[in-house]
Amino acid sequence: MIRQLLRLFFKYVWPKIPYHRTVMDYAAQQFIAGKNREDAIRVGRKLCEEGFGVLFNFIGDHTDSVESRNRAYEEYEWLIGKISEYQIDGGISLKASSLGLFRESFDFGDSRRLFDELMRHAAASGVPAWLDGEELSLKKKTNEIIQNAQPILRLGKVLQAYDTRVFEELSDIFLHEDRSYRFRICRGAYDEPIELADREESLIRVRMNDLVSSLLGTRHFVQVATHHRKTIQYITDYMISTRNLDKKSFEFALLLGYDMELARELLHGGYRVVIYVPYGEDVEGYCIRRIIERPNYIFLPIRKIAKSCVDFCRFGR
């Protein structure tokens, strides 16, 4: 219910608020590395010095032009080069929609050629790559991309726990093969039809725990992408103690700036922790998606704005 209200608010009310983009840009400063790639590399190197791994993401969803598609490829090519040059413990996280892989209205063959070249560059540089989860209607095409890329690079696959058919997908497509895959397990953030995705949080959390249980300790590598402390507690207590798993056999992925205290707790506890580092110009779109995914995130930018107002009143006169 709350998520639906937020979707309506951001669709119909938020765009009518004066300077809404400026407000969001300011409020999101601690959650976005910056608007350019140099900012992203600077933030990523600093995180690596602290002991974290990083995943760089050039913000953007469905591209509407060849120019924006080419820009995305150029950004990731540059990132791969810098990750290798600076020996950053990091990789890239891409959206197939921003790379033109779902758009046959402009040269689809060219998009696939560029994507294969990007995967070869990543493989040659030893840079891991993940394909972000998007709308469930695109799941079949996304899986085809991942499987076609497998001979070039073990491209990471996202499993969204709100997907009611996620276990069928695993059994039908991935788990019956001898190949090993890299899976990121997350909640899921898109506005999906009720017949495709659960909206009840308790069901989603149970399915997320079940996904973790079924994949940890197998031939597959698992990345758990969540800030939910009970889910993390389930993994660190039950999964480690009962299965005697090596803490380095999987990793946690957390978002930049959202709960760095939790990230440091896990890091100091001996777990591998990767920070998702977004950058780019579509700050508003990125933040709205994250707030809808986890509504209590809305209080983070509100607190930042409130604190700035208080500071201005105290010292700005």
* pLDDT the model gives residue 300: 61
Confidence class of residue 40 from pLDDT cuts 50, 70 and 90? very high
Higher pLDDT, 267 or 65: 267
Average pLDDT over residues 193-212: 93
Distance, CA of 47 to CA of 274 (rounded, Å): 9
Higher pLDDT, 194 or 238: 194
Domain residue limits, the chain: 1-32+287-311, 36-279
* pLDDT the model gives residue 309: 45
pLDDT in tens, 96-121: 999 999 987 666 689 999 999 999 99
* pLDDT the model gives residue 63: 83
Average pLDDT over residues 158-162: 97
* pLDDT the model gives residue 107: 65
Secondary structure of the chain as H, E, C letters: CHHHHHHHHHHHHHHHCCCHHHHHHHHCCCCCCCCCHHHHHHHHHHHHHHCCEEEEEECCCCCCCHHHHHHHHHHHHHHHHHHHHCCCCEEEEECHHHHCCCCCCCCHHHHHHHHHHHHHHHHHHCCCEEECCCCHHHHHHHHHHHHHHCCCCCCEEEEECCECCHHHHHHHHHCCCCCCCEEEEECCCCCCCCCCECCCHHHHHHHHHHHHHHHCCCCCEEEEECCCHHHHHHHHHHHHHHHCCCHHHEEEEEECCCCHHHHHHHHHCCCCEEEEEEECCCHHHHHHHHHHHCHHHHHHHHHHHHHHHHHHHHHCC
- Which CATH number is 36-279's, of 3.40.50.300, 3.40.50.1100, 3.20.20.220, 3.40.50.1370? 3.20.20.220
Q: Does the structure show a pLDDT above 50 at 312?
A: no
Higher pLDDT, 44 or 297: 44
Structural tokens at position 165: 């058919």
pLDDT in tens, 223-265: 999 999 999 999 988 877 877 888 888 999 999 998 999 999 9
Average pLDDT over residues 57-67: 88
Question: Could you tell me the end-to-end alpha-carbon distance of the chain, in angstroms, rounded to an integer?
Answer: 43
Q: Does the structure show a pLDDT above 60 at 88?
A: yes
Confidence class of residue 269 from pLDDT cuts 50, 70 and 90? very high
> CA distances (Å), 269 to each of 55, 89, 90, 143, 263, in order?
21, 19, 20, 34, 10
Mean pLDDT taken over the chain: 88
Structural tokens at position 291: 């707030």
Q: Does the structure show a pLDDT above 80 at 16?
A: yes
Distance, CA of 77 to CA of 253 (rounded, Å): 23
Residues 93 and 127 sit within 8 Å (Cβ to Cβ): no
Predicted TM-score (pTM) of the model is 0.88
Confidence class of residue 310 from pLDDT cuts 50, 70 and 90? very low
> CA distances (Å), 261 to each of 267, 287, 305, in order?
10, 20, 20
* pLDDT the model gives residue 243: 78
Higher pLDDT, 199 or 309: 199
